[in-house]
Structure 1
């Protein structure tokens, strides 16, 4: 950490040039003897990456930004808010893999103390400094291996252990919990000896059912999406908990939050009602489909489903609480119609349980992207390939 970057004139330069291209700044000579052009560019790049993802950091004077990989890997403030709700007031938390500390800072709003562990000593120093800027005094930074720190701590030292295991080992991606670092499967007994609750943030690509076979005492699974992009899976384990795991799909969009809760037993025991497209079409958010609520969501909202494997729902009533996009159906056409006469020059296209991909359909029928028309290419209850023309209900 180059503390010369924190000098008033350097900070003023960064603020005055933060809208400019970092590459352009890097190629010019630095006006400061103790701060390189590359360092100035890195701080400007950090601010630009933080504007939408971390607005609290971006609009706090004097924040020191780390390497871009640390910003790419950290949570957004939107998802960090969810973790804050999981922490009981006045509790003691250890973040074993602290990173840039976004989750740490939000958990610290509820906790009495959060220990931030980070192997990267430079990043740990940056976090400790930024905590003073952000006025979060109850964060204690440990520059070292969080597992070693935990092993040296007395039993029941903490209320919560938070861990975000690395999914990149030897420059390659891994998708099984056992292959991540640290290996949270093997460390469960250690974790439970130090805290009654474990919160693990894992890859959104992870199979939930497989993880539930590896992790003990899982009380909740949170599937969190932001603007229909699945961002995080959280597994909340509670010492000695025995019972059915609750799955919570959390949809964050346009500063709003929708949630849907179910269990896998409920999903398995639910029978879908299949229908042809009615007046409204409901396209579930990715948090719902990732969570596996393919039948439960339709049953809960009283909707029919187009086909067992077509995850679109339909009904005559408008249900604004539905966790996903809602459309008004204009017409339903057999797919074969396009082969004879294509009436669509421009449209937003989606495929659901359909043999051809979006890019193939666009190329084959010369349909440009965009506009207010939405076309769903899918399979219906009679196993027929159909096109649903619809308009988005805002």
Structure 2
């Protein structure tokens, strides 16, 4: 950690160049002997990335930013705040502390938080920023969190861990292939805490994760603006009778859809119906949860097609986690080429072509409110729904 970066003149330079080109800055000669051009460029790029993702850090003076990759990989403030609501008791140890976003939000909720980070410089940066942000109930340890638990007779109310996928692992992965290996060390973690909170990438299959872990009480599927950001696995000391699955959307308004594993298996099959006044598109968090029939039965919706996760209703459902469209009418795919100056945002669901192909094929120009939804129904086959959006993600 180069503390010369915190000098007033350097900080002023960084703030004055937040709209500058970081590549040009990195290649130019640094105006400061103790701070390289590469360091200046990194501070500027990392701060630029933090505008919306980490507004608390961005707005605070004298924040020291780590390598840009750490900013890209860390939690956003909205997801960190959500995780803090999953804790119990008064204490927590973060075994994979990183830049410290999650740890700081845990510290806002709990009496004490211990932040473990293998890389000494990153640990020092997180510690410095916590002091600047006046979060005094945090302890920073530059060490292996698993080893720390093994070597000390200390316990915590919560253990938080964010295992990293190895770069050699493809899209399909298992928890045992990540670092730290929470499957291998699960008994240790359970002996050291009342609750374990495990964050994983959304690519992890829910059934596969449940097979690897034990005593899972809840799985939280968290999305922001229809992008599934993370899975959060809550592991308790005692087995749970049922696993609760919580699909949460963190947008302007937080919405959740809650059900228990196995509930979808016993849910009644939803009949396919003709298009009604409104069309509902579930958020990606709900799609990851897989409760396709439960969604319909809970909200009183009908399906267009058994293989299409689009729903229809004659009613406005304000708490639905997803998008709501008002139907203008139907278009036949064969008639689209006759349309002149065709405009609309294209969605393709269970259709023979992808959205990008359809835009080119029919020369469709973008529109702020109008949507052309290419899909199919059992009764009408392939069709195009002309609609305008009433409720965004």
TM-score of the superposition, structure 1-length normalised?
0.95
The CA deviation at 1:169 is 3.6
Show structure 2 runs of 5+ residues with no match: none
Q: Secondary structure at the match of 1:66?
A: coil
> Residue in 1 aligned with 2:12?
12
C-alpha contact (below 8 Å) 1:174/1:180 kept by paired residues? no
Task: Deviation per CA, 1:167-202: give whole Å up to 9, x if none.
Answer: 134587662112111111121111111112110000
In terms of mean alpha carbon deviation, does 34-43 or 376-385 score higher?
A: 376-385
> Residue in 2 aligned with 1:93?
92
- Taking the TM superposition and a 5 Å limit, the aligned residue runs for 1:169-248 are 169=167, 175-248=173-246
What RMSD in Å do the two structures reach over aligned CA positions?
Answer: 1.6
> Residue in 1 aligned with 2:322?
324
C-alpha contact (below 8 Å) 2:326/2:387 kept by paired residues? yes
CA distance in 2, matches of 1:11, 1:58: 12
Structure 1 residues 173 and 135: alpha-carbon distance in aligned structure 2, compared to 1, 3 A threshold = farther
The CA deviation at 1:344 is 6.2
The CA deviation at 1:383 is 6.6
In terms of mean alpha carbon deviation, does 18-27 or 176-185 score higher?
A: 18-27
TM-score of the superposition, structure 2-length normalised?
0.95
Structure 1 residues 174 and 135: alpha-carbon distance in aligned structure 2, compared to 1, 3 A threshold = farther
The CA deviation at 1:326 is 0.4
Structure 1 residues 16 and 364: alpha-carbon distance in aligned structure 2, compared to 1, 3 A threshold = closer
**Aligned with 2:358 (options 357, 361, 366):** 361
**Aligned with 2:343 (options 328, 342, 346):** 346
Structure 1 residues 317 and 172: alpha-carbon distance in aligned structure 2, compared to 1, 3 A threshold = closer
C-alpha contact (below 8 Å) 2:88/2:158 kept by paired residues? no
Task: Deviation per CA, 1:321-350: give whole Å up to 9, x if none.
Answer: 1111100111123434336x3466121111
Task: Deviation per CA, 1:277-300: give whole Å up to 9, x if none.
Answer: 100111111111111121111111
Task: Deviation per CA, 1:46-75: give whole Å up to 9, x if none.
Answer: 110101100000000100000001011100
C-alpha contact (below 8 Å) 1:246/1:262 kept by paired residues? yes
C-alpha contact (below 8 Å) 2:159/2:197 kept by paired residues? yes
CA distance in 1, matches of 2:107, 2:138: 7
Task: Deviation per CA, 1:199-228: give whole Å up to 9, x if none.
Answer: 000011111111111111111110000011
CA distance in 1, matches of 2:231, 2:120: 27
CA distance in 2, matches of 1:371, 1:32: 47
Q: Secondary structure at the match of 2:262?
A: helix
Q: Secondary structure at the match of 1:314?
A: strand
CA distance in 2, matches of 1:145, 1:276: 58
Query: Are 2:263 and 1:266 equivalent residues in the alignment?
Result: yes
C-alpha contact (below 8 Å) 2:279/2:327 kept by paired residues? yes
Show structure 1 runs of 5+ residues with no match: none
> Residue in 2 aligned with 1:123?
122
Structure 1 residues 274 and 344: alpha-carbon distance in aligned structure 2, compared to 1, 3 A threshold = farther
C-alpha contact (below 8 Å) 1:88/1:110 kept by paired residues? no
The CA deviation at 1:28 is 2.4
Task: Deviation per CA, 1:247-283: give whole Å up to 9, x if none.
Answer: 1011011x32111101232211112132111001111
> Residue in 2 aligned with 1:61?
61
